[in-house]
Amino acid sequence: MSKRLLLIDGNSIMFRAFFAMHQQMDRFVNHDGLHTAAVYGFKLMLDSVLKTYKPDAALVAFDAGKKTFRTAMYDDYKGGRDKTPSELSEQFPYVRQLLAASGIQTYELPNYEADDIIGTIASQADAAGYTTTIVTGDRDLTQLVTEQTTVAVTKRGVTNTEEYTPAYMLEKLGVTPTQYIDVKALMGDSSDNYPGVTKIGEKTAVNLIREYGSLDAMYEQIDQMKPSKRKENLQNEEKIARQCQTLATIKRDAPITIGLADLAYTGADEGALVELYRELDFQSFLKQLNPTTITAETPTTAYTELTAANLADVANMTGSIVFHLELLQANYHEADLVGFVIGQPDHWYVSADVSLLQTPALKTLLANPDVKKDVFNAKAQIVALNRLGVTITPIAFDLLLASYLLDTNENSDDLALVAQAHDYQGVVSDEIIYGKGAKLAIPETPATWMTHLANKAAAIHALRQPLFDELQANDQVALYTDIERPLSRVLAEMEMTGIRIEATTLTTMQAELTTRLAELETAIYEDAGEEFNINSPKQLGVILFEKLKLPVIKKTKTGYSTAVGVLEKLRPEAPIVDKILQYRQVAKIQSTYVAGLLKVIRDDHKIHTRYLQTLTQTGRLSSVEPNLQNIPTRFEEGRKIRQAFVPSEPDWVIFSSDYSQVELRILAHVSGDQNMQSDFKSGEDIHASTARRIFHLLPGEEVTPNMRRQAKAVNFGIVYGISDYGLAQNINVTPKQAKEFIQNYFDEFPGVYHYTKDIVKIAREQGYVETLTHRRRYLPDIHAKNFNLRSFAERTAMNTPIQGSAADLIKIAMIKMGQALQAHGLQARMLLQIHDELVFEAPASEVPELRRVVAEVMDSAMQLDVPLKVESKVGPTWYDLKPIED
DNA sequence: CCACTCACG
DNA sequence: ACGTACGTGAGTGGT
């Protein structure tokens, strides 16, 4: 097999990488303020091509400077270009370091461009029988394509490429690689700033070269060309065309002083890479490297191994301590316990024996109200310790929670990444210590992970004060102290309590659904005339749109869309469509809910979800393993799943209360809109009163169901950050009509109009938006040049304060709920939170009082300029809930 | 590991 | 001109 050579156009890829990452440039700055986005992008590209082409030899060519033989023959060559931004030029030395450490040669040659070096080497490589790939961002290099040399041109970012072979060139550009030079000669190149022939663009140039075969051949026969303005131009500007041809031609014989023999690629120097990644703060690349390379240089915090003998040293600690129980997996309900660290600065104690936590000495210390605990992820610690029968309280500082409040993006459950984000380097990622996937394990040498734990404890302590200071500066102390920190304990309680599931209900459903799926499957195969995988959108697309020739309504990036909306439109066309819709619905219920929930029922016959408190960008919770916030309710078929959710005690009931139209009420409050506020105060159905206003109905006139539906959609649209395009799509009207709806809406609710304008302005000025409790979301894309990114940020600016303040509201209610239930001596337990709804289980006898207490707590959680409305329901299962009448 | 689809608020 | 409604998680197929 022939040897493989990789040639990279260094300058071109650097430019591509820099501009591809330009939107997020702020994120790529190292601890010294050095920009690193281009080096980062270059590295991504490099990994990708090394993996794809597995070269035996490699070279990255750079331009030597601005002056080349081309500028000597044509003054304006590459003239008019903006100066390279300093944010990019400062990165060139580092990309060279990266390449040196990666074991890849670099080369540059005075008076020549990188292209010429590449062209020359590629020629030599062709002669020597190599298979060559050239990677560039510049399509001009496709003139170098041969049977042996492929040119990969980056598109959309830096890791996607389009590979030009001779056949692909003909197909795509209509000319051969050599002809491509002549095309360029005629059409010119605006970025390299040479003109070509007047009035000749790409289309004409390609046609001419295809017709005559080459520039030379064309000029030989130009006399036979029939008279035209174009002919005149070609004749008058022959000299220019010839000159452009020279400019466009990449040299194949540059006087280079290296040869193929110098380019052998044998792999990277990992030590040098580690050093460079550290310098550039490339955490993700660091992680990919062999852990042993890294651990040798990791910081080490001194610690003492904790045993029964020195327990007293810890037990006597006063004031504040750091505690961390190390879990091997994310699911703390069942994760393996690795060990723990406890102590104070310079006095860290580590042990693998978690049963020490159950000794009176430590158990008392951890529950001692006078000794404050600093931790990482309080909720995880509370739940995991509870498995040992140990209580931890009071928690003062939670590094994860504080970090998330300061910036919702700094929320990794890996302590090292969070510490990094706050410029603390003294701890490495869990992945480096424990590995991941199938290789996840506790290291054989205990000192490895014990040092890691000591490092973690030191990090928690070191970041405590700075993060508190930042919370203070952001006016977020109350959010932290009064909401999120106490909430973590409330959530821990809910998760530990769990919700009872009647497994037999699910297994009965499973059998029925299996039969139905089989029937549908048979019927679908019959209609299709063959068997295929109905679950595969790809195979389904072939059946529907190629075999059955149904009209294509919408396409996805990869093929035909078969989403519900599309199938619904196709339903009248063929009976198979309805069957597929039914199949999809049943299959979803079967796999995600019936089988999915059966899988996670534990020995106590309950399901214990985990709420992620530091994940969403808005302040909402999310729920995982399983997600109990998306149990079906909209359609009867799926809704039946809720029959399996039952009380855990005899004579108890499921009780649920939800906030009615909470987001619109918050909008009425934050916007101060008088009309909207008075609509809520009147107590009328809000979508109906909105319809009244935007359709200008007279007092006696009735709101039709369609008006209400459209008004409701507009209300939703406003909450989501309205756009005519989005609204039009949603309610199936033209963008023009949608625009009118929105205009009418804003005329009727001028306060809302001003809110949308103001909040976007605020986002632009301060870079973030806030909820009522000063929860923050940064929106860097608000300044993006890209329309899509910027529009998205603007909609987010409108939506986040609303969705986020609603999240604030229910969180406050949840904290007060625990206290209220206790104060009233109720046995009722809060089980679930579903964004605007709280689900409880309670003795049936408590329901009347519970209803009053819950409604009172939820109603008064926050004082808004509009009333809040709470609706309560009760029943024997989550399915059978019935409204409670006054 | 990503794309698609679909469940919820 | 650009071309999306906001926020989530899980299962499946396909590379």
Per residue in A426-475, pLDDT tens?
999 999 999 888 889 999 999 999 999 999 999 999 999 999 999 999 99
| CB crowding A574-593: b at 16 or more within 10 Å, else e | bebbebbbbbbbbbebbebb
| Domain A300-488 part of CATH 3.30.420.10 | yes
Smallest CA–C1' distance to B4, residue: A537
Residue nearest to nucleotide B5 (CA to C1'): A563
Lookup: nucleotide whose C1' is closest to A586 CA: B6
| pLDDT of amino acid A287 | 67
Element (H, E) at A882: strand A882-883
> For strand C, is any atom closer than 7 Å to the CB of A734?
no
Alpha carbon distance A143, A30 (integer Å): 39
Residues pairing with A882 in the sheet: A874
Task: Report whether pLDDT(A172) > 80.
Answer: no
**Cα-Cα-Cα-Cα dihedral sign, residues A878, A880, A882, A884:** negative
Q: Which CATH number fits domain A4-262: 3.40.50.1010, 3.40.50.10680, 1.10.1370.30, 3.20.20.140?
A: 3.40.50.1010
Contact A42, A13 (CB under 8 A): yes
CA–CA separation, A774 and A789 (whole Å): 24
Euclidean distance between CA atoms A250 and A115, whole angstroms: 6
What is the average per-residue pLDDT within A167-187? 81
From the Cβ of A43, is strand C under 7 Å away? Answer: no
Distance, angstroms, CA A493 to C1' C15?
43
pLDDT at A702 over 50: yes
**Could you tell me whether strands A610-612 and A622-624 are parallel, antiparallel, or unpaired per DSSP bridges?**
antiparallel
| CATH architecture of structural domain A657-662+806-883 | 2-Layer Sandwich (3.30)
Return d(Cα A349, Cα A460) in angstroms, integer: 15
In chain A, CATH 3.40.50.1010 sits at: 4-262
Asked if A838 and A832 touch (Cβ cutoff 8 Å), the reply is yes
Q: Give the number of other Cβ atoms within 10 Å of residue A648's Cβ.
A: 16
Percent of chain A with pLDDT over 90: 63
- Per-residue pLDDT averaged across A554-578, rounded? 89
> For A303 and C11, how far is CA from C1' in angstroms?
45
Top pLDDT among A550 and A885 is at: A550
For the cut 50, the answer to whether the pLDDT of residue A296 exceeds it is no
For chain A, the straight-line distance linking the first and the last C-alpha, in angstroms and rounded, comes to 84
* Tens-place pLDDT, residues A329-360: 999 999 999 999 999 999 999 999 999 999 99
A785 or A633, greater pLDDT? A633
Q: Establish whether the CB of A286 is closer than 7 Å to any nucleic acid atom in strand C.
A: no
Q: Tell me how long chain A is.
A: 886
Query: Over the stretch A376-420, which tens digit does the pLDDT of each residue have?
Result: 999 999 999 999 999 999 999 999 999 999 999 999 999 999 999
* pLDDT score at A886: 64
User: Where do the CATH 3.30.70.370 domains begin and end in chain A?
Assistant: 657-662+806-883
Residue A577 has pLDDT above 80, yes or no: yes
Q: Which residues have a Cβ under 8 Å from the Cβ of A314 and sit 6 or more positions away?
A: A306, A342, A343, A349, A361, A362, A365
Dist CA A712 CA A390 (whole Å): 50
pLDDT greater than 90 at residue A845: yes
Asked if residue A775 keeps its beta carbon closer than 7 A to nucleic acid strand C, the reply is no
Whether A274 has a pLDDT exceeding 90, the answer reads: no
Q: What is the pLDDT of residue A452?
A: 97
Nucleotides of C under 7 A from a protein CB: 1-14
For residue A659, give the nucleotide whose C1' atom is nearest its CA.
B9
> What pLDDT band is residue A293 in, cutting at 50, 70 and 90?
very low
CATH superfamily entry for domain A500-607+616-643:
Taq DNA Polymerase; Chain T, domain 4 (1.20.1060.10)
Give residue A800's pLDDT band: very low, low, confident or very high (50, 70, 90).
Answer: very high
Numbered ranges of CATH 1.20.1060.10 in chain A: 500-607+616-643
pLDDT at A290: 56
Task: Provide the mean pLDDT of chain A.
Answer: 90
In the three-class reduction of DSSP (H, G, I as helix; E, B as strand; rest coil), residue A58 is classed as strand
> Partners of A321 in the beta sheet?
A373
Q: Which residue is nearest to nucleotide B8 (CA to C1')?
A: A630
Portions of chain A given CATH number 3.30.420.10: 300-488
Q: Is the CB of A535 under 7 A from strand C?
A: yes
Query: Residue with CA nearest B3 C1'?
Result: A558
Q: Write the DSSP assignment of A148-171 as a string of letters.
A: SEEEEEE-SSSS-EEEE-HHHHHH
Nucleotide lying nearest to A638, CA to C1' measure? B7
Chain B nucleotides covered by protein, CB below 7 Å? 3-9
Asked whether residue A626, judged by its CB, lies under 7 Å from any atom of the DNA or RNA strand C, the reply is: yes
Q: How far is the CA of A160 from the C1' of C15 (A)?
A: 15
Q: What is the pLDDT of residues A58-74, one digit of tens each?
A: 999 998 887 888 877 77
- Strand C contact with A722 (CB < 7 A): yes
A533: the nucleotide nearest its CA (via C1') is C13
Predicted confidence (pLDDT) at residue A562 exceeds the cutoff of 60: yes
Q: What is the pLDDT of residue A120?
A: 92
Burial class (CB within 10 angstroms; exposed 0-12, middle 13-18, buried 19+) of A603: exposed
Q: Smallest CA–C1' separation from A663: which nucleotide? A: B9
Could you check: is the Cβ of residue A284 within 7 Å of any atom of nucleic acid strand B? Answer: no
Q: Which nucleotide is nearest to A633 (CA to C1')?
A: B8
If one compares A16 and A884, the residue with the highest pLDDT of the two is: A884
Q: Which residue is nearest to nucleotide C6 (CA to C1')?
A: A720
Of A285-289, A321-325, A391-395, A476-480, the least confident: A285-289
Contact A655, A828 (CB under 8 A): yes
C-alpha span between A376 and A378 (Å, rounded): 6
- Burial group, residue A696, by CB count within 10 angstroms (0-12, 13-18, 19+): exposed
Distance measured from the CA of protein residue A121 to the C1' of nucleotide C14, in angstroms? 39
Higher pLDDT, residue A365 or A173: A365
Q: Is the CB of A539 under 7 A from strand C?
A: yes
Q: By C-alpha distance, which of A847, A850, A832 is closest to A498? A: A832
Question: How many whole angstroms separate alpha carbon A308 and alpha carbon A246?
Answer: 84
C1' of C9 to CA of A588 (Å): 13
Confidence class of residue A158 from pLDDT cuts 50, 70 and 90?
Answer: low
Residue A538 CA and nucleotide C14 C1' are separated, in Å, by 9
Q: Which nucleotide is nearest to A724 (CA to C1')?
A: C5
Whole-number pLDDT of residue A830: 97
pLDDT tops 80 at residue A155: no
Question: Could you check: is the Cβ of residue A591 within 7 Å of any atom of nucleic acid strand C?
Answer: yes
| pLDDT-wise least confident of A134-143, A614-623, A797-806, A824-833 | A134-143
Q: Is the CB of A731 under 7 A from strand C?
A: yes
Whether CB of A620 is under 7 Å from strand C: the answer is yes
Is A521 (CB) below 7 Å from strand C? no
Residue A68 confidence (pLDDT)? 82
Q: Quick one: which residue's CA is nearest to C9's C1'?
A: A627
Question: Is the distance between the Cβ of A640 and the closest atom of strand B smaller than 7 Å?
Answer: no
Cα–Cα distance, A665 to A806 (Å, whole number)? 9
- pLDDT over 70 percentage in chain A: 97
pLDDT given for residue A223 in this prediction: 81
**Residue A728, pLDDT above cutoff 80:** yes
Average pLDDT over residues A865-886: 94
A804 touches strand C (CB under 7 A): no
Measured CA to CA, the distance from residue A225 to residue A295 in angstroms comes to 74
CATH homologous superfamily for the domain A665-793? 5' to 3' exonuclease, C-terminal subdomain (1.10.150.20)
CA of A538: nearest nucleotide by C1' is C13
Q: Is the pLDDT assigned to residue A822 strictly greater than 90?
A: yes
Q: Which two tokens stand for residue A193?
A: 């700033």
CA to C1' distance (Å), from A564 to B7: 13
